[in-house]
Amino acid sequence: MTQNAAPQGIRDAAALSHDIVETYDAVVVGTGAGGAPAAKELAEGGMRVAVLEEGGCHFEHRDLASQAIQRMYRDGGITATIGAPVIPVPLGRCFGGTTTVNSGTCFRTPEAVLARWRNEFGLQDMHPAAIAPLFDRVEAEIGVAPAAFRVMSRPNVLVHEFIGGEGLSGAPLPRNAPGCEGCGMCCYGCTSGAKKSMAVSYLPKALCAGAVVYVHARADRILLDRYGASGVRAAAVDDTGRPTGHTLTLHAPRVLVACGTLLTPVLLKRSGIARGNRHLGRHLAIHPASKVAAEFDEEIKPWEGIPQAYGYDGLHDDGIMFEGITMPPDLGGAANPLSGHRLAHYIRNYRHMASYGFLISDTAEGRMVRLPLLGYRFIYSLTSTDVRRFKRAFAWLARLFLRHGAKRAWAMLVRRDNEFTSLEDVDRFERSPLRAADIECMAFHPLGTCRMAATPEQGVCGPDHEVFGAPGVYVCDGSAVPTALGVNPQETIMMLGTRLAQRLLGKTLGPEAAQ
Q: What residues are annotated to the active site?
A: 445
Helices (H) and strands (E) in the chain, counts: 12, 24
Is residue 145 a contact partner of residue 512, using CB atoms and an 8 Å limit? Answer: no
Say if residue 105 is exposed, middle or buried (CB neighbours under 10 Å; 0-12, 13-18, 19+): buried
Torsion over CA: 293, 299, 302, 308 (sign): negative
Is residue 322 a contact partner of residue 393, using CB atoms and an 8 Å limit? Answer: yes
Nearest to 330 by CA among 150, 197, 153, 184: 184
Helix axes 423-431, 384-403, angle to 10 degrees: 170
Torsion over CA: 333, 337, 340, 341 (sign): negative
Pairing mode of beta strands 87-88, 80-81: antiparallel
Buried b (16+ CB within 10 A) or exposed e, 48-77: bbbbbbbbbbbbebbeebeebbebbbbeeb
Pairing mode of beta strands 353-360, 288-295: antiparallel
State the DSSP H helix or E strand holding residue 399, giving kind and residue range, or none if neither: helix 384-403
The CA-atom distances, in angstroms, between 271 and each of 226, 233, 310, 436 are 14, 10, 43, 36
CB count within 10 Å of CB 94 equals 28
Is residue 293 a contact partner of residue 336, using CB atoms and an 8 Å limit? Answer: yes
Say if residue 168 is exposed, middle or buried (CB neighbours under 10 Å; 0-12, 13-18, 19+): exposed
Which residue(s) pair with 171 in the sheet?
311
Which residue(s) pair with 461 in the sheet?
452, 467
Is residue 203 a contact partner of residue 227, using CB atoms and an 8 Å limit? Answer: no
